[in-house]
Amino acid sequence: MQPTGDVHLGNYLGALRNWVSGQHTCDAFHGIVDLHALTVTERPGVLGETTMSLAAMFFAIGLDPDVSTVFVQSHVPEHSQLGWMMECTVSYGELSRMTQFKDKTAKRENQFIAAGLFTYPALQAGDILLYDANEVPVGDDQRQHIEITRDIAIRFNHRFGDTFVLPEAVTPAAGARVMSLQDPTSKMSKSDDSDAGCVFLIDDPKVVMKKFKRAVTDSDTGPDAVRYDRENKPGVANLLEINAAVTGRTPASVADDYTQYGALKVDTGEAVLAALDPIRERYYELLDDPGELSRLLRVGAEKAREVASVTLKRAQTNVGMLPA
């Protein structure tokens, strides 16, 4: 995950929460990808701070440094090294078809667009392949990136012999695509024009409740006004999905409990807060001890390099590069 902007409910339900539940059954690697953040970094002195904040958030949500490897991408130079090899294994045409590039550049019309914004799926492929990852726990919007990673790995393996494990995207049953509370036809995103549709994990509880109370629903009333219908009632469906994700139910069964939008909004806000309150508290405690956070990140980088260096070497050897 990139250290740009605060972590929001979409990130949490789509990805982070599943990293925590998966850490005891999988050999988990989670990178804070500061090299990716360079694609949109134009001011000095900010990136280190946002990297520390994201590290605090990773541990606050429950990643355990004793079982999960949490590290900063630039502390593991193998990412840059394999990233270039991946850039040489993906085609211009493949990168041109990435919908995130189209979306991101559309939002930056008349602004500087770094070439890295175009090539970053190659660096991301390296991020994944370095760890022989079988599964990549992501939100729905990342599926295309995991697909291109597989395509790159298949091409590399075909050209140079068996080198990389082919990864698969793993998305959660509920919360894989959390939508904006103000525009439920577009995904919740930190780059939204207004903050009102995006619930941040460190939002004040009052702010969280306000955002839910103002969530866009519908104008029709009646006994079945609250029903799970993504196509025709996207705002209501989004609230039902969020509620289901945090309470461990299904959206349709949550809908059965309600006839009015107001009650659904309030209860969903409260259910979300029950999950976020302890996270926010831990986050501030952890942020108070930057020395300990830095130590944990150093340990993580060492563990990550042990694996990444072996994979990079294998790739270089299989290509036939002259050993240093």
Residues that bind ligand AMP (CB under 6 A): 1-2, 10-11, 13-15, 138-139, 141-142, 176-178, 187-188
Question: Which residue in 102, 190, 211, 233 is the catalytic one?
Answer: 190
What residue is closest to ligand AMP based on CB? 14
Q: How far is the CB of 121 from ligand AMP (least distance, A)?
A: 12
DSSP state of 178: P
Q: How far is the CB of 87 from ligand AMP (least distance, A)?
A: 19
Q: Is 187 a catalytic residue?
A: yes
Q: Is 303 a catalytic residue?
A: no
Of 174 and 312, nearer to ligand AMP (C-beta) is 174
Question: Which residue in 102, 107, 187, 313 is the catalytic one?
Answer: 187
Cα separations (Å) of 265 from 92, 114, 123, 234?
45, 40, 40, 14
Residue 132: left if φ>0, alpha if ψ -120 to 50, beta else—which one?
A: left
User: Which residues partner with 70 through β-bridges?
Assistant: 30
Q: How far is the CB of 8 from ligand AMP (least distance, A)?
A: 7
Amino acid at 28: A
DSSP state of 113: -
User: Environment class of residue 59 by beta-carbon count within 10 Å: exposed (0-12), middle (13-18) or buried (19+)?
Assistant: buried
Q: Is 107 a catalytic residue?
A: no
Of 15 and 40, nearer to ligand AMP (C-beta) is 15
Map tokens 């698969």 to a residue.
Answer: 168
Of 149, 139, 126, the C-alpha closest to 73 is 126
Of 213, 118, 133, 209, the C-alpha closest to 165 is 133
Cβ atoms 213, 181 nearer than 8 A = no
Q: How far is the CB of 188 from ligand AMP (least distance, A)?
A: 4
Q: How far is the CB of 142 from ligand AMP (least distance, A)?
A: 4
Token code pair at residue 249: 């139910």
Of 128 and 315, nearer to ligand AMP (C-beta) is 128
Map tokens 């022989």 to a residue.
Answer: 132
- List, by residue number, the catalytic residues: 104, 187, 190
